[in-house]
């Protein structure tokens, strides 16, 4: 079953890249229509999208680390973090990921990378301070499960490529009204109106792609596999319970990489901005059933 999940994630990543290449090429064509050179702009957009796809596959983990500002963990300072990651990596049968720390007082973590040999885990200072040994192990085991299943591949690639589409469409929308001043009536206005509609449609589609890059079911599976690694459901339950009771303003969360995180407090869940993660109460309820097996 695990190997089937891994193969499915690799296929989904490939199809996601093809879809985004098609979208970016289409945007290039529409922009080219306005300037009278649709094919030149289409070819240019296609080449750029290929380059970004290559870049996102091989370097997206570095981009995510840079965006979040995570710093390499120190074995002397974060000893338990290293010990837990080493033991759980051995149990999962994968190389130990690079370990990072996020300067955030909230409890959270994320994993990134393209495969188990090129992966990283980042844990917040809040998690290191507020979680006990078993709770921290539960969180790390969850992230290691995402790495082993290649969930991080599609999630990290989606973060970079969809982010590129959002940047393009935002730039297009900002320039629409400026361009109307330079172009009178007729074809120019119609083309820009079409571009505006396309941009307005693509932006939410990009958000949907981002949200569902890692489905809710993948989070449930990572929770279950984390329990198999730790043999202690209460650790993960305790971590989720503590996160649930925290508070974080929705505007503090980077939507572009929100799907990579372990979980969000109720203040984020109730904002209805994020649907990548199941409700914390639902995750806890499932984990509680595993305590008695």
* Cβ contact 111:59 at 8 Å: no
Judging by DSSP bridges, how do beta strands 109-115 and 118-124 pair with one another? antiparallel
Q: What are phi and psi of 247, to 5 degrees?
A: -130, 135
Range 59-86 burial, b when 16+ CB lie within 10 A, else e: ebbebbbeebebeebeeeebeebbebbe
The DSSP letter of residue 150 is T
The DSSP letter of residue 119 is E
* Cβ contact 216:278 at 8 Å: yes
Check if 103 is active-site.
no
CA distance 234 to 290: 10
98: which strand partners?
Answer: 120
Report residue 243 as tokens. 């996160």
124: which strand partners?
Answer: 102
Q: What is the dihedral of CA 22, 111, 278, 162, to 10 degrees?
A: -20
Report residue 169 as tokens. 């469409």
Helix (H, G, I), strand (E, B) or coil at 201: helix
* Cβ contact 251:151 at 8 Å: no
CA distance 227 to 146: 13
Catalytic residue among 137, 143, 219, 246: 143
Q: In which element (H, E) is residue 256 found?
A: none
As annotated, the active-site residues are 143
């Amino acid at each position: 079953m695990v190997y089937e999940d891994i193969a499915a994630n690799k296929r989904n990543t490939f199809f996601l890249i093809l879809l985004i290449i098609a979208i970016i090429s289409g945007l290039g064509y529409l922009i080219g229509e306005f300037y009278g050179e649709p094919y030149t702009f289409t070819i240019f957009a296609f080449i750029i999208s290929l380059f970004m796809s290559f870049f996102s596959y091989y370097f997206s983990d570095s981009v995510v680390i840079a965006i979040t500002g995570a710093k390499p963990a120190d074995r002397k300072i974060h000893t338990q973090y290293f010990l837990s990651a080493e033991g759980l990596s051995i149990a999962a049968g994968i190389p130990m990921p690079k370990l990072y720390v996020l300067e955030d007082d909230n409890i959270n973590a994320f994993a990134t990378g393209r495969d188990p040999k090129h992966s990283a885990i980042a844990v917040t200072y809040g998690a290191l301070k507020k979680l006990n040994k078993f709770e921290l192990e539960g969180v790390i085991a969850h992230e290691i499960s995402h790495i082993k299943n290649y969930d991080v591949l599609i999630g990290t690639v989606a973060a970079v490529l969809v982010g590129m589409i959002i940047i393009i469409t935002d730039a297009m929308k900002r320039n629409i009204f400026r361009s109307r001043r330079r172009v009178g009536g007729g074809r120019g206005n119609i083309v820009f109106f079409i571009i505006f509609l396309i941009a307005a449609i693509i932006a939410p589609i990009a958000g949907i792609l981002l949200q569902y890059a890692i489905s809710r079911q993948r989070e449930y599976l990572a929770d279950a596999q984390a329990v198999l690694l730790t043999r202690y459901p209460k650790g993960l339950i305790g971590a989720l319970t503590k996160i649930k009771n925290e508070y974080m303003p929705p505007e503090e969360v980077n939507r572009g990489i929100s799907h990579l995180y372990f979980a969000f407090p109720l203040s984020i869940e109730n904002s209805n901005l994020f649907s990548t993660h199941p409700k914390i109460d639902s995750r806890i309820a499932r984990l509680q059933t595993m305590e008695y097996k």
